[in-house]
């Protein structure tokens, strides 16, 4: 019996995949557990419509990410860091602080877990923070760390 999987099933297949399984496995396990639906004209049209909707949503998200990337790369954000007499920094600029400053200054929601190879900033001067906004859309945010005067 041919079925369309609604969820990933171990050792069977992935979501939206059309597979051929035994009749008993489909009718007694996959369909009652809402893991699959029978393969027919109606379910095929639903699958195609769902895939088209997902593609349209991804294109919209990517377009928004490109707009946000341009916004983030136009200006720089600055932080003030206290420096001791021997040039040692007191504290550091963390990913959370950078995330909050981006939200405050640019009105763009970013997740600090999407920062690429971020290390806390504890030295004066300019730095670049890379943020993955969407698949293959990475913004390079300019950060300036100044001395507390």
Each domain of the chain, given as residue ranges in start order, spans 2-58, 64-147
Spelled out in words, what is the top-level CATH class assigned to the domain 64-147?
alpha beta
Of the pLDDT bands very low, low, confident and very high (cuts 50, 70, 90), residue 5 is very high
Residue 120 neighbours by CB under 8 Å, 6+ apart: 92, 93, 94, 95
User: What is the per-residue pLDDT across 116-143, written as a single tens digit (0 to 9) for each?
Assistant: 998 988 888 899 999 999 988 899 999 9
What b/e sequence results for 84-116 when a residue is b if at least 16 CB atoms lie within 10 Å of its CB, and e otherwise? eeeeebeeebebebbbebbeeebebebeeebbe
* CA–CA distance, 72 with 129 (Å, rounded to integer): 11
Let me know: does 121 contact 93? Beta carbons within 8 Å: yes
Q: Which CATH number fits domain 2-58: 1.10.287.3510, 3.40.50.170, 3.30.565.10, 3.40.5.10?
A: 3.40.5.10
Average pLDDT for the chain: 90
| pLDDT tops 90 at residue 4 | yes
* CA–CA distance, 127 with 142 (Å, rounded to integer): 6
- pTM beyond 0.85, yes or no: no
């Amino acid at each position: 019996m041919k079925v369309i999987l609604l969820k990933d099933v171990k050792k069977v297949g992935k979501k939206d995949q059309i597979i051929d399984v035994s009749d008993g496995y489909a009718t007694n396990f996959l369909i009652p557990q809402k893991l699959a639906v029978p393969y027919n004209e109606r379910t095929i049209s639903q699958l195609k419509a769902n895939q088209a909707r997902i593609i349209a949503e991804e294109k919209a998200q990517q377009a928004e990410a490109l707009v946000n990337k341009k916004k983030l790369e136009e200006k720089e954000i600055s932080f003030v860091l206290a420096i001791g007499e021997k040039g040692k920094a007191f504290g550091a600029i963390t990913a959370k602080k950078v995330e909050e400053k981006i939200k405050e200054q640019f009105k763009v929601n970013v997740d600090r877990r999407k920062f690429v190879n971020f290390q806390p900033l504890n030295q004066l001067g300019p730095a670049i923070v890379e943020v993955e906004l969407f698949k293959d859309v990475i913004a390079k945010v300019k950060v300036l760390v100044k001395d507390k005067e």
